[in-house]
Amino acid sequence: MSEIKKLEILGVPVDMVNMAQAAERLEELMRSEGCSLIVTPNSEIVVNAGQDSELMEIIRSADLVIPDGIGLVYASKLLGSPLKERVTGIDFLSWALDFLEREGKSIYLLGSRPGSESVPGVAEMAAIKMKEAFPGLKIAGTHHGYFSKDEEQEIVDDINECGADFLCVALGSPKQEKFMARHRKGLKVKAAIGVGGSLDVWAGEVKRAPEFYRKHGLEWLYRLVQQPSRYKRMAALPRFMIRVLLSK
C-alpha cells in the first residue's frame, strides 16, 4: 500500500491526503482483505475523541482518516504541516459512488430518519437520488438509523446477505464510528465509511452550502443559518483552535 503521511491533531492522526490520494487509497482498500474503516473527522469529532477513548481508539485504528472540516486545515497550518486540502466526506462519497459504478460494485445505505406510510425514509430517498446521478450504481439495500442494540445483528446480517461491497453509515458521530468498529469483523463489505449527515443532503432534506461558502471555508456558517439548533455544537470550533494553539 502506498505510504500516506499523517498529522497528529490533538492526538488524532489525520491522513494528509487530497481527494485524488484519498480516492487512490479507497481503491487499494477495496482490493484488500477484510472490512476497512474510513472515518471523516472534523474539529468537533477531534475534540470529542479527546474525551472518548473508545472513539479515539477507533480513529487511530482506521484505514483512512479524511480531514473533513476547515478547522482541521487551519489547525494543520498552525502546526506547521499544512494539509493539502479539505476533503469533505460528502465529496469523497460522490467519488466513491462513481468508483463503485465503474467497478460494478454495490453500496448499502444505513442511517437517518425512517420512512412512514406516505414518505420514504432518508436512506431510500438518497438511494433514488444516487441512482439518478449514477445510473449504473448498484444499491444493495437501505436501512434507517433508528434502531436498538438488539436489532444491530439483524442489520449486519441483512448487509451481508445483500452481498454489499461498500457500506455507508450515517448515524452521526460517535454512533457511526462505534457501530462500524463493533461489527467490523462480522461485516463482509470491503469498506465502511461514516458520513454523518450526508444522506440527508443526498435525499434533499438538508441543502448543501452554495459554492461561495464552500470555496471560502464557510460551510459551517451556512449550516448554522440553516440549522440554528447546531450552535452549541459549532462552539466546538473555537475551542478546538485554542486547544491546538496550546498544544503547539
3-state SS assignment for residue 170: strand
Q: What is the residue whose three cell numbers read 459504478?
A: 101
Are the beta carbons of 109 and 192 closer than 8 angstroms?
no
CB of 165 to ligand UDP, least distance (A): 22
146 binds ligand UDP (CB under 6 A): yes
Site string for ligand UDP, 163-202 (x = CB under 6 A): -------xxxx-x--------------------xx-xx--
CB of 113 to ligand UDP, least distance (A): 5
Q: How many residues bind ligand UDP (CB under 6 A)?
A: 14
Q: How many helices (H) and strands (E) does the chain have?
A: 13, 8
**Count of positions (residues) in the chain:** 248
Complex with ligand UDP: residue 175 or 188, whichever CB lies closer: 175
Question: Pick from 36, 43, 112, 142: which binds ligand UDP (CB under 6 A)?
Answer: 112
Q: What angle do CA 8, 218, 96 make, to 5 degrees?
A: 65
- Contact set for ligand UDP, span 69-108 (CB under 6 A): none
Cα 211 to chain centroid, rounded: 20
Q: Which of 17, 174, 182, 35 is nearest to 95 (CA)?
A: 17
CB of 200 to ligand UDP, least distance (A): 5
Q: Which residue's beta carbon is nearest to the bound ligand UDP? A: 145
CB of 59 to ligand UDP, least distance (A): 14
238 binds ligand UDP (CB under 6 A): no
Q: What is the helix (H) or strand (E) element at residue 65, kind and residue range?
A: strand 64-65
Cα separation, 7 vs 114, in Å, equals 38
CB of 60 to ligand UDP, least distance (A): 19
Residue numbers at the binding site for ligand UDP (CB under 6 A): 111-113, 145-146, 170-173, 175, 196-197, 199-200
